[in-house]
């Protein structure tokens, strides 16, 4: 049923919970997990300013999602990590729809309520526009 | 090749045109405000943004990046304009372009890697502080209406994007505040009071300056500073756009492009400019990734000014001051200030030195120079640390020293002093250099010196574990110094 699972993550503790759900689902259907991590414009600006070169930027970003990757390593579920560049909502939607996934899993929020009110939640956009079933992990 | 050109220009027409229009609208307030910072008519900044955006669209190395009149450049030219006037600024702009073309031709973009991150962070922070400080003078002798209007501008800029994202908020703020001031009949200083705005296309002009050595002496220091700062900010912006779009770009081509753009703008009555971080981020976020967006931005900007010039002169200064305060807040790297206690002390010191130097001298290039110099010193200090551990063997007849680190002119004194020469009961001293590297004459000299000191006690010194490069150096130089020294 859920052969190809897309897990959208930001490396937060919250997204670690989504990882658990993704692993469970993948194990049930012997599926694979594709992890996406989106780097938005402001993060690009900050990272380029802060770190000496491309290699260091790449390393820091890898470190951010390390908890998720480690958890996936332990689980023995085949998985792959993709770094996307752009606005989080549309980037995830595009990637999910082009990849024809069976299920998209995303954490409900990494932001506090004010930020959600102001910025709109990514998970809401994803739920609305991704064609596959979407699981929002609370 | 042709396919690549086609892709760069027409691969993303819809996104580029829309983003270009958004960028043009966002460029207008900044181009006017930066002109006022530099002390020239608003047209000088507007012509610059037009010319630079168009030329860069064609000749730049980083599609999707936006260039125009910038705060960093405007701040560098203040004294030149005040002391010598616009014509000298135009000449300096052309010379800046020539220097940047040379920079690109000689492929010096790679030199950028020697400018450490903490200097770049210091650079943007200092830039933000200078832009902010340059706005304070506009409050002199003003009443509460000025403060209220600046407040209104800022309120619109920060609150509007939470509801409407398609139109640049600074432009809406400009329109609303201008409308409010005209409607209420407030008597406030406007853009028109500070300079002229002519509703015409820029024309080709040769700057009216005496072509002699004295002129060159005046403009060269400015041109050099402008060229360096322009390249620095442009390549930094190019890296950001590279990362945002996950593509690569030709930095040397971009340097040349910046040069051609500045030469052109100088001949068409514009001030020197460079790439703009904020505008480039807006462009890419709005969907502009090709060359077309920069061209559209430039052309649409000029069209708006020709069509709406008589409205532009009525923009109250309060609105522009608000926009500039926003620019300075957005430019400042806040996390670098908040996390200053977390980063290595040397990095923090380099960053602060850069900021303080700029704020004191009002010259960004001096700040960068001071920052690079200080970080070079820190680096030399860090790398010149040599670690020596020791061990006694063969019942006290042999002592082993294990050396770790880089042996070169700055570290030899430290290295030589770490060895104990007073032990006169030893037959052999073995110095293990497996984890060390010899770099220069001084390193070889140090080895000879150690040998010499032990010779007095009749102790033999053996060097082991030299890596092949160090061995080669030792044989080449060591042989010579021995032959002449003994």
Show which residues on chain A lie within 8 Å of chain B, measured between beta carbons: 39, 41-42, 44-53, 57, 83, 85-87, 118
Q: Which of B124, B162, B245 lies at the smallest CB-CB distance from A85? A: B245
Are residues B211 and B85 both part of a single domain? yes
Mean pLDDT confidence for B177-186: 89
What is the reported pLDDT for A16? 85
Are residues B115 and B184 both part of a single domain? yes
Identify whether B291 is part of a domain: yes
What is the reported pLDDT for A55? 84
Does B485 have pLDDT greater than 50? no
Chain A hits for B121, CB-CB cut-off 8 Å, are 49-50
Identify whether B64 is part of a domain: yes
Split into its structural domains, chain B has a count of 2
By C-alpha distance, which of B108, B18, B37, B73 is closest to B296? B18
Identify whether B258 is part of a domain: yes
Identify whether B349 is part of a domain: no
Q: What is the pLDDT of residues A49-75, one digit of tens each?
A: 877 778 888 888 888 888 888 889 998
Quote the percentage of chain A above a pLDDT of 70: 91
Are residues B284 and B418 both part of a single domain? no
Q: What predicted TM-score, i.e. pTM, was given to this entire model?
A: 0.82
Q: Which of A48, A86, A87 lies at the smallest CB-CB distance from B239? A: A48
Residue that terminates a domain, selected from B333, B362, B397: B333
Are residues B294 and B430 both part of a single domain? no
Identify whether B355 is part of a domain: no
Chain B hits for A53, CB-CB cut-off 8 Å, are 113
Q: Which pLDDT band, with edges at 50, 70 and 90, does A109 fall under?
A: low
Picking from B246, B276, B336, B344 by the largest number of A CB atoms within 10 A of its own CB, the best residue to mutate is B246
Q: Which pLDDT band, with edges at 50, 70 and 90, does A111 fall under?
A: low
SS3 category, A136: strand
Q: Where are the domains of chain A?
A: 4-137
Q: Considering all CA atoms of chain B, what is the largest pairwise distance in Å, rounded to the nearest integer?
A: 99
Query: Within 13 Å, how many C-alpha atoms sit on residue B51's CB side?
Result: 31
Chain B hits for A41, CB-CB cut-off 8 Å, are 244, 281, 284-285
User: Which residue reads 């010579």 in tokens?
Assistant: B480
Q: Which domain holds residue B256?
A: 2-333
Please state the ipTM of this predicted complex. 0.82
What is the reported pLDDT for B194? 77
Are residues B35 and B149 both part of a single domain? yes
Identify whether B300 is part of a domain: yes
User: Which residue reads 């790449």 in tokens?
Assistant: A58
The whole-angstrom separation of Cα B245 and Cα B238 is: 10
Do B67 and B294 contact (CB within 8 A), yes or no? yes
Picking from A38, A46, A48, A115 by the largest number of B CB atoms within 10 A of its own CB, the best residue to mutate is A48
Q: Which pLDDT band, with edges at 50, 70 and 90, does B44 fall under?
A: very high
Does B370 have pLDDT greater than 80? yes
Picking from A37, A39, A43, A44 by the largest number of B CB atoms within 10 A of its own CB, the best residue to mutate is A44
| Closest chain B residue by Cα to residue A114 | B162
According to DSSP, residue B425 is labeled: S
Quote the percentage of chain B above a pLDDT of 70: 98
Are residues B421 and B325 both part of a single domain? no
Ranges B231-235, B387-391, B420-424, most confident: B231-235
Q: Six-digit token pair at B459?
A: 């102790």
Identify whether B252 is part of a domain: yes
What is the reported pLDDT for A78? 92
Are residues B126 and B270 both part of a single domain? yes
C-alpha dist (Å) from residue B84 to B94, B204, B365: 16, 21, 20
Does B479 have pLDDT greater than 70? no
Look at A45 and B277 and tell me if their CB atoms are within 8 Å. Answer: yes
Q: Compute CA B468 distance to the chain's CA centroid, rounded to the nearest angstrom.
A: 40
Identify whether B381 is part of a domain: no
What is the reported pLDDT for B486? 39
Q: Which pLDDT band, with edges at 50, 70 and 90, does B109 fall under?
A: confident
Contacts of B210 by beta carbon, 8 Å cutoff, 6+ apart: none
CATH classification at residue B447:
3.30.750.24
What is the reported pLDDT for B156? 93
Chain A hits for B245, CB-CB cut-off 8 Å, are 85
Chain B hits for A120, CB-CB cut-off 8 Å, are none
SS3 category, B287: coil
Are residues B325 and B427 both part of a single domain? no
The whole-angstrom separation of Cα A2 and Cα A22 is: 10
Dump strand ranges (E) for A1-138: 4-9, 32-39, 79-85, 103-107, 134-137
Question: In the A/B pair of chains, how many CB contacts fall below 8 A?
Answer: 46
What is the reported pLDDT for B154? 94
What is the reported pLDDT for A45? 86
What is the reported pLDDT for A11? 77
Is the CATH code 3.40.50.620 the one for domain A4-137?
Answer: yes
Do B289 and B63 contact (CB within 8 A), yes or no? yes
Beta-carbon count within 10 A of B171 CB: 19
Torsion angle in degrees (nearest 10) through CA of B20, B22, B27, B28: 120
Mean pLDDT confidence for A110-117: 54
Mean pLDDT confidence for A115-133: 74
**CA quadruple B101, B105, B109, B111: dihedral sign:** negative
Q: What is the pLDDT of residues B278-305, one digit of tens each?
A: 899 989 988 899 999 999 999 999 998 8
Cβ density class B361-375: b for 16+ within 10 Å, e for less: ebbbbebbbbbbebb
Are residues B62 and B208 both part of a single domain? yes
Look at A39 and B285 and tell me if their CB atoms are within 8 Å. Answer: no
What is the reported pLDDT for B163? 78
With vertex at residue B23, the alpha carbon angle to CA B22 and CA B24, rounded to the nearest 5 degrees, is: 95
Q: Which of A47, A49, A87 lies at the smallest CB-CB distance from B120? A: A49
Q: Which of A47, A49, A118 lies at the smallest CB-CB distance from B162? A: A118
The whole-angstrom separation of Cα B62 and Cα B357 is: 31
Quote the percentage of chain B above a pLDDT of 90: 43
Q: Which pLDDT band, with edges at 50, 70 and 90, does B208 fall under?
A: confident
Q: Which of B117, B277, B284 lies at the smallest CB-CB distance from A50? A: B117
Look at A42 and B281 and tell me if their CB atoms are within 8 Å. Answer: yes
Do B187 and B33 contact (CB within 8 A), yes or no? no
Q: Which pLDDT band, with edges at 50, 70 and 90, does B483 fall under?
A: very low
Are residues B91 and B230 both part of a single domain? yes
Do B124 and B334 contact (CB within 8 A), yes or no? no
What mean pLDDT value characterizes chain B? 89
Ranges A34-38, B53-57, B135-139, B247-251, most confident: B53-57
User: Which residue reads 């060159």 in tokens?
Assistant: B216
What is the reported pLDDT for B60? 94
Q: What is the pLDDT of residues B125-176, one digit of tens each?
A: 998 999 899 888 888 887 888 999 999 999 999 998 877 777 778 888 988 9
């Amino acid at each position: 049923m859920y052969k190809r699972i897309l897990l959208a993550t930001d490396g937060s503790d919250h997204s670690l919970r989504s990882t658990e759900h993704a692993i469970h689902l993948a194990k049930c259907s012997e599926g694979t997990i594709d992890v996406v991590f989106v780097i938005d414009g402001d993060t690009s600006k900050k990272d380029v300013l802060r770190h000496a070169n491309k290699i260091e930027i790449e390393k820091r970003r890898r470190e951010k999602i390390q908890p998720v990757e480690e958890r996936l390593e332990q689980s023995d579920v085949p998985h792959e990590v993709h770094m996307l560049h752009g606005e989080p909502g549309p980037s995830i939607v595009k990637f999910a729809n082009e990849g024809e996934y069976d299920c998209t899993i995303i954490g409900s929020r990494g932001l506090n309520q004010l930020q959600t009110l102001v910025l709109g939640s990514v998970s809401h956009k994803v739920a609305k526009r991704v064609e596959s079933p979407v699981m929002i992990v609370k | 090749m042709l396919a690549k050109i086609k892709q760069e220009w027409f691969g993303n027409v819809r996104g580029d045109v829309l983003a270009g229009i958004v960028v043009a609208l966002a460029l207008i307030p900044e181009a006017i405000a930066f002109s006022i910072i530099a002390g020239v008519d608003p047209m000088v900044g507007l012509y610059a943004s037009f010319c630079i955006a168009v030329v860069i669209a064609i000749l730049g190395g980083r599609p999707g990046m936006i260039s125009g009149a910038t705060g960093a450049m405007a701040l560098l030219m203040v004294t030149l304009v005040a002391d010598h006037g616009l014509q000298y600024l135009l000449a300096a702009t052309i010379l800046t372009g020539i220097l940047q073309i040379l920079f690109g031709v000689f492929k010096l973009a790679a030199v950028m890697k020697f400018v450490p991150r903490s200097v770049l962070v210091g650079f943007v922070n200092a830039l933000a502080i200078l832009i902010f400080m340059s706005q304070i003078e506009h409050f002199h002798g003003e009443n509460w209406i000025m403060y209220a209007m600046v407040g209104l501008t800022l309120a619109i800029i920060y609150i509007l994007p939470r509801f409407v994202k398609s139109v640049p908020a600074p432009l809406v703020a400009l329109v609303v505040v201008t409308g409010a001031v005209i409607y209420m009949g407030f008597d406030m200083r406007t853009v028109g009071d500070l300079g002229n705005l002519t509703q015409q296309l820029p024309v080709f002009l040769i700057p009216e300056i005496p072509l002699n050595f004295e002129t060159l002496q005046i403009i060269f220091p400015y041109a050099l500073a402008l060229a360096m700062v322009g390249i620095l900010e442009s390549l930094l912006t190019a890296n950001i756009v590279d990362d945002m779009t996950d593509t690569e770009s030709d930095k040397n081509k971009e340097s040349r492009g910046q040069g051609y753009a500045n030469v052109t703008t100088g001949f068409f009555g514009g001030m020197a400019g460079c790439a703009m971080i904020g505008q480039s981020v807006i462009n890419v976020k709005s969907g502009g990734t090709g060359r077309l967006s920069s061209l559209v931005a430039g052309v649409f900007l000029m069209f708006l000014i020709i069509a709406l010039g008589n409205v532009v002169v009525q923009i109250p200064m309060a609105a522009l001051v608000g926009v500039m305060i926003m620019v300075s807040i957005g430019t400042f790297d806040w996390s670098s200030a908040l996390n200053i206690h977390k980063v290595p002390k040397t990095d923090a010191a380099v960053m602060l030195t850069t900021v303080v130097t700029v704020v004191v001298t009002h010259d960004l290039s001096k700040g960068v120079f001071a920052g690079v110099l200080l970080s070079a010193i820190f680096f030399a200090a860090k790398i010149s640390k040599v670690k020596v551990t020791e061990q006694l063997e063969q019942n006290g007849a042999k002592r082993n020293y294990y050396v770790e680190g880089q042996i070169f002119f700055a570290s030899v004194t430290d290295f030589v002093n770490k060895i104990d020469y007073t032990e006169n009961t030893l037959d052999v001293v073995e110095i293990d250099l497996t984890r060390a590297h010899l770099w220069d004459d001084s390193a070889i000299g140090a080895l000879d010196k150690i040998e010499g000191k032990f010779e007095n006690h009749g102790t033999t010194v053996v060097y082991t574990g030299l890596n092949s490069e160090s061995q080669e150096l030792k044989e080449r130089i060591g042989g010579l110094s021995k032959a002449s020294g003994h």
